[in-house]
């Protein structure tokens, strides 16, 4: 039987409704994991208060904010976005996860359908994958030509420069997971009837194409060094830690009024 060296404060945390639910949520019972979850929930709540301040500041000052989340399939992009947005005013945010382009959209400038989702004054837009599909997902899976890829890589830094010079705040996050963690999450998705819908044909090939994804990911990062806006890479094997780190980075990257009364 596992032994635990718990402090009095830890015992108090566990001896609450949330603590007991955390302990009983999963067998075998693990007090250390339950305690970590309670601490995560407490930290998350504090950060979400700061996110409310950030949004209030953005509304009051007519700021426009874009937060881009990139990363491999099952890296936790959607989960991080949900934690970021669950406590802020939904009327002033937009979560964008675009499907594959229509035949009409394929005839337009590549960036056009993303520009159509850009924020108005006082709004925050979160992209669960973005125009960077053309940097990694599309070339890996043969969804674009070499010429289309080269044009994108040549244009993207100028595109983002135009975004920021127009007054939009742009934050870019890349959620990074290991190959074994991705495989484990895929297995969880496949065996959970409530998650099975998440598995796509692209996901099915992700493990076999791991090294090709890595090649294009590195090229994407290298391209930002040519005058582009860098990604903040967040290690995401532990979902709770990744979510906290993502929120902390957003709060540090946007110059909101931290003393704002709400």
Q: Is the pLDDT of residue 90 over 70?
A: yes
Alpha helices (H) along the chain: 8-14, 17-24, 31-60, 77-85, 103-106, 112-115, 137-141, 146-165, 179-191, 201-206, 210-224, 239-253
- Do 169 and 254 form a contact (C-beta atoms < 8 A)? yes
Average pLDDT over residues 90-95: 98
Confidence bin at 211 (pLDDT 50/70/90): very high
What is the reported pTM?
0.89
Domain 62-253: give its CATH code: 3.40.50.300
Tell me how far apart the alpha carbons of residues 66 and 69 are, in angstroms, rounded to a whole number.
Answer: 10
Per residue in 219-243, pLDDT tens?
A: 999 999 999 999 999 999 999 999 9
Q: Is pLDDT above 90 for 38? A: no
Is the pLDDT score of 34 beyond 80?
no
Per-residue b or e along 134-167, where b marks 16 or more CB atoms closer than 10 Å to that residue's CB? bbbbbbbbeebeeeebeebbeebbebbeebeeee
CA-only gyration radius of the chain, Å? 20
Q: What number of other Cβ atoms are within 10 A of residue 260's Cβ?
A: 13
- Please give the Cα distance from 95 to 82 (Å, whole number): 9
Kindly list the domain boundaries of the chain, sorted by start residue.
62-253
């Amino acid at each position: 039987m596992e032994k635990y060296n718990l402090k009095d404060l830890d015992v108090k945390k566990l001896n609450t409704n949330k603590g007991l639910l955390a302990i009983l949520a999963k067998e075998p019972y693990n007090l250390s994991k339950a305690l970590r979850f309670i601490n995560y929930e407490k930290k998350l709540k504090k950060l979400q208060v700061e996110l409310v301040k950030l949004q209030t500041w953005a509304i009051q000052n007519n700021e426009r904010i874009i937060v881009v989340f990139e990363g491999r399939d099952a890296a936790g992009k959607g989960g991080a976005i949900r934690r970021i947005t669950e406590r802020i005013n939904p009327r002033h945010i937009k979560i964008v996860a675009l499907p594959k382009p229509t035949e009409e959209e394929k005839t337009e400038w590549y960036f056009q359908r993303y520009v159509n989702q850009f924020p108005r004054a006082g709004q925050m837009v979160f992209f669960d994958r973005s125009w960077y599909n053309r940097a990694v997902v599309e070339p890996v899976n043969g969804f674009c030509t070499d010429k289309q890829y080269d044009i994108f890589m040549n244009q993207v830094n100028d595109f983002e420069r135009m975004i920021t010079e127009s007054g939009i705040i742009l934050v870019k996050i890349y959620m990074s997971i290991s190959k074994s963690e991705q495989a484990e999450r895929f297995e969880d998705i496949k065996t959970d009837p409530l998650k099975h819908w998440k598995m796509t044909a692209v996901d099915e090939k992700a493990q076999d194409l791991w090294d090709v994804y890595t090649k294009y990911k590195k090229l994407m990062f290298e391209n930002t060094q040519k005058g582009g806006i860098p990604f903040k890479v967040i290690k995401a094997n532990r979902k709770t830690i990744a979510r906290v780190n993502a929120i902390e980075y957003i709060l540090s990257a946007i110059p909101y009024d931290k003393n704002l009364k709400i």
